[in-house]
Structure 1
């Protein structure tokens, strides 16, 4: 019988083999002593030769690498011949037969092969005894009945043991599969966690540092273009560039210090925070900004989401919209907090948008159970509507 699959079953199998190996070698030694002491003449040497062939085949089975099919079946064939010869010589064959009964189940690849070798061993034993004793009462009364009883018990025990081992094999296989699945699941979670962390970091960098750098580029271009025509306005834009660069530096330091969590908005109400952002935007761009900002109380994550959505929407207006007026409305609704940003710019085809900003806003709001709605068409401006559910909302 082949070794069951799985580490647990392999350990059980190896332990069982070690115990039976010890018993067999002790039996071989005891039989050698008994044969030497009790047998005489040629029968002694013949019996020792048969016992030696079994011991040699058993040693080859365990000590030397060879074909995993030929070795066990070769050993069983030698055992069958030796049992028949010892039965003929009437020398300790019964003890060898009883102790080696498990070998037919341990080394037979299938139950059919195990039963086949066991049947051959039974027939060989009975044949050897019959040739020696003939049709005597001793042959029928002791040899036949005793051998058949031993074989029947061995068959029942072997079938039961094989069923137990097969169940253990199946359990070991299931345990191994469970361990492999758990390891694969853990690796998948680690990969997904790393991917989520990279995406979150990219979103934080885009919403803070990248927007700041984009503002610096736009302000620098405007300041350079207006140096001759409006030096005072260009000077204000240069001061704004300096202020934006300092803010970007502070945000970069906070991003590093917070382990990638991103800078947090300054303390105060969310309306006050958005108001400062809008004032800065109006001063930098010269656009008209209409704001209706309700003074709301909300948690830190909601404040961050509303701030980032406002900043991203204004950045898109600055870079792409070519608008003259921007409207921002922050209000409390029965279903949560609503932020609406509109412009009268060029608009765009929403389905054709491939930018990172809108997707980042959607994912940021989705993490809070919110949603983002973008309405726009070419020439008709754009409307960004962010909704975040809050505690107590209907």
Structure 2
């Protein structure tokens, strides 16, 4: 409660000091008044403490708000001391010289922290990095040196014939005035603009939110610094121009700070900063060219030809120079406007990734940065798969179309500066990646569903088949054990029957194991297992031919074996063939399986049964193909192609 009372008391003290300053000003005779009836301190004293108190009431401990509050109070005190010290000196009040003395250095505590400390600590109260901390301490030291120099500099502070010397003046400081003018002042100016440059460093490496915050405050602070050092930059600047520039700049500082801290997401300043840098650089370059040509041509040709030649040259250079400058600024901001370079950059970025999901994430980030939007979201089949940036405000919906099918959409949040060509190029790349991610998701879901279905089948077979069989065997063993003492002769037939049932149970277990992975593959290899499978068929005769094959993955071996097993089973059941030609070979990075018979061939309207469906599904699970067709001269040919990678 006490803290809030102090804050708002300071906010009220600023305007009160401004009012008292005007009261003392008009209580002094006209010939003793200063000629300046309006200075930036009026705005700073009224506005800065109020905005600082408001920000601190919303966000406690905000360093920038504390600085703003204190700077406003120093400005109000300085504006009050100017007329009050004159009034006190004219009325011979005790301590009037001290009041006049305070009016000579208070302005430095309002101006220097505003242009040196605020840029370095905005927006989070910390320097951009540890390397900037010495710059902060140097800034504090320079502020102290400037204030101490003004405090100790001997000067006549008299008004209207009333003499008043600096009560704290030191003559030795007067001898060091050249050192101050030639050393401390230039260093102070250089460090000021270095601190302003720190905003550009933050902007370059910052997030979209930080960029908007920095862009809002950069222009007012730069205008304040230029106006404050106008006596060094433009010594003869008219006072009305100085007052207008300074009052506008210092008035925009607290407003920009409040917007940047509290409402920064409602504004997109990237475009303004981009355009400002482009046209400022363009103006500088063309201005140098123009005046340089005028100076050069005027030495060679007399008359008005120099101005005409310079204007003609600037007009011819305007468009190519603007294009080059725009390209350089876009590279600085990470913006690409050429669709062809953009497509190449995005393709190279995607090729360096390890999986489509990562590629899509990088592509979405590239879309946000290129289009200069605040956020991008990609939806596939109605589900959000990836977002980047801030999803806020009305979104621009861009459909993602792959081969005529809309597979999702891309949502762009916030204003950008890209045309439809860029959006079209980016959308095509994002659509390709989204389609790949979609296929992987469907494939992953298919694998999971297939695995779960296989687990349910095994559970059902164990529960309904093997489980009751083992339970019945246990009961038979118990019954035989009981009869062993009462009727030993009847035990032997029971044990024989029990042995047969155990053999049947073992066969059931073997069938379950074979359903997971045929043991023949581990024992004989793929070729040996196929030859063993072919020899088990009494008829028809199977001729197995196999070229040199590379080493296959286990899933490829199982798939090839199951397809061949199902194809031979169909031949035995339906084809009524006398011979079968089974061939395995490698063709263009694929394992080609061909099973041809000389049977009766396919019917006129073939129906896809469980066996054909199983073979087709097994091939498609590995990304392969499966076909079945009638053989010329009679018979059927089954062909499956499985990728080897």
TM-score (norm 1): 0.43
TM-score (norm 2): 0.29
- RCO higher in 1 or 2 (8 Å CA, sep ≥ 6)? 1
